[in-house]
Amino acid sequence: MERSEDKVKRIWRIAVGRLRAQSETLYKNWVSRMVPLRLEERKLVVGVDNEFVCRFVFGHHQDLFEEALAGIDGENYSIEFEPGHSQEPPEEPEQPAKPVAAAPPRPRLASDANEFSFDNFIVGEENRHAFAAALATAEEPGLYNPLFLFGTNGVGKTHLLQAVAREMRRRNPQLVIRDTTCDELLNDFYDLLMQKRSLSAFRSSVRDVDVLLVDDVHRLAQKHQMQEEFFNLFNTLYRQHKQIILTSDRQPCEISDIDKRLSTRFESGMISEVGMPEFEARLAMLRMWQSKMLTQNPLGNEFLEFLAENISSSVRRLKSAYYRLATYSSLNGGSLTIELAEELLHAQLMQESASRLVSIENVQRAVADHFSISIADMLGKKKMRKIAEPRMIAMYLSRRLTGRSSTEVGAAFDRNHATVLHAEKQVPELCRSNDAVRRMISQIERQLKH
């Protein structure tokens, strides 16, 4: 007789196979981390990470799970998600090369517009909060107003912005949504000024909406006339309880040469950072693109891991590099090696190396400027806290960003390597206990990488 725990695993294994056939993205993002727990009569209880996953998966994919559980052993099982459980996704087997056709078709992907959804956004620790805030805003406009998403170029801000618009339209097709970039707004504005025409048409195009989404709002810097117009626009929409969502490459307080009134407005709602995905998330992205690419010769796992390991500055650059290797492999019968991949991506890999290397002198200057102390004080013997703490942070960032050894960093600060190792231990602990310090260090790091 089949044991209860074996039956649970068997039912879940069947359901997972059906779910994966329906959506590879759903499997990789969510299902692969779920844990079958128990059967309660005709209800399968499945463990997930947290309450957020419960809400998201149940709200968006309940029908798929119920279809996957239908007709197993002649029963239609329902599903319940229980937070507090997770497992690492199983290792993906390397995909065998398919027979080469005489004239292989050029590989292609679904259009980017079709990809910009919440389902296709790879969620990791570095962007989980931003994802949750964007999803909550799409489901309940006005909950966070404005919603301000920031992060360096190519990390997924535009993806989240488009996902919000798409989900809002799905839920309420009657909503009037203006989805634009800051540059497009600026061009429209200055065209009317140059033609000496009334601004009423411009104003109505952005005011007569239910939702305004503006990408790269930091481009307002130094555009003082447009800042005044945008300030009035913001106030009008906000008073009418219209949803405003903005993205930027930096926090409002870091946008230089912008009206203080505007930055204050931007800070009045929810601010959330979209960080660059870590290795595991980058690998998941590559596998997702692989699953969507129509090609005779998919890349093996070693190439996906090579890309995830070596391209970490931008999702756009990662995607471009993937397309290049996948296209080459498809058009050349799968004859691709790591050495050839390095040659094909030589320019991108060189840029990656350069972007990761920051000089110790640049770190010292950035930290000294932030804390309003002199380089001489930082390198000197003074031990008062207002000097010692910036010195420790500068040593930590030097080790983190420059690729130099603790001995080399110590020499640059006229200290020994043990002092640097102490900084490497103390600063992360300080960040964990003091969120303001963590944000400050993150700000300095972004400035150095800009």
Question: From its phi and psi, is residue 124 left (phi > 0), alpha (psi between -120 and 50) or beta?
Answer: beta
pLDDT at 349 over 60: yes
Residue (of 345, 279, 284) closest to 317 by Cα position: 345
Q: What is the mean pLDDT of residues 333-347?
A: 89
Task: Dump pLDDT digits (tens) for 358-417.
Answer: 789 989 999 999 999 999 899 998 889 999 999 999 999 998 888 677 888 899 999 988
Mean pLDDT for the chain? 84
Q: Which parts of 265-402 are beta strand (E)?
A: 270-273
pLDDT at 337 over 50: yes
The 10 Å Cβ neighbour count of residue 409 is: 26
Check: pTM over 0.85? Answer yes or no.
no
Q: What is the mean pLDDT of residues 142-163?
A: 90
Q: Which domains does the chain have, with CATH numbers?
A: 4-83 (3.30.300.180), 123-273 (3.40.50.300), 279-356 (1.10.8), 360-449 (1.10.1750.10)
pLDDT at 199 over 80: no
Query: End-to-end distance of the chain based on CA atoms, in angstroms?
Result: 64
**Which CA distances in Å does 153 have to 146, 166, 297, 304?**
21, 22, 31, 22
pLDDT at 355 over 80: no
The 10 Å Cβ neighbour count of residue 192 is: 16
Handedness of CA 420, 421, 426, 428 (dihedral sign): positive
- Tokens 């963590």, residue? 438
> Which range has the worst mean pLDDT, 55-59, 100-104, 316-320, 385-389?
100-104
The 10 Å Cβ neighbour count of residue 296 is: 18
pLDDT at 444 over 50: yes
Coil, strand or helix: which one is 68? helix
Rounded Cα gap, residues 242 and 204, in angstroms = 14
Q: What is the mean pLDDT of residues 189-208?
A: 79
The DSSP annotation for 233-288 comes to: HHHHHHHTT-EEEEEESS-GGG--SS-HHHHHHHTTSEEEE-PPP-HHHHHHHHHH
User: So what's the pLDDT on residue 92?
Assistant: 52
Highest mean pLDDT: which range of 132-141, 249-258, 388-397 = 388-397
- Tokens 């990662």, residue? 318
User: So what's the pLDDT on residue 208?
Assistant: 86
